[in-house]
Amino acid sequence: RMSRHAQQLRDHDRNPCVAETDASRKCMDDNNYNKDMCTAYFLKYKSCRKFWHDIMMQRRRNGVKPEMPSAEERKKILESMG
């Protein structure tokens, strides 16, 4: 059974970067934990976190709730950006 924190990290409505997390972890597993082999995955994860953090901060400043858009809303945001 997963801890509450682990469940939140797996929740697509709360964590916009589940796919990037999984890809990084898989890369590490596949490459015997050689971080140098997974730099591109780490950068994608970092960009994802920064992008959604900035959106969350903007929504907080504007009084928008919830501060993190739902998975469905995030999909629309990304599609609108091309």
Q: Kindly state the tokens that stand for 6.
A: 């682990």
Q: What angle do CA 45, 48, 50 make, to 5 degrees?
A: 110
Closest C-alpha to 71, from 19, 24, 34: 19
* Kind plus residue range of the DSSP H or E element containing 8: helix 4-10
Report percent pLDDT > 90 for the chain. Answer: 80
pLDDT mean over 47-72: 95
Is the predicted pLDDT of residue 5 greater than 90, yes or no? no
Closest C-alpha to 78, from 46, 45, 44, 55: 55
pLDDT mean over 75-79: 94
Judged by DSSP in three states, 70 sits in coil
Q: Residue 76: what pLDDT?
A: 95
More confident position, 21 or 7: 21
Please tell me the distance from the alpha carbon of residue 47 to that of residue 78, in angstroms, as a whole number.
14
How confident is the prediction for the chain on average, in pLDDT? 93
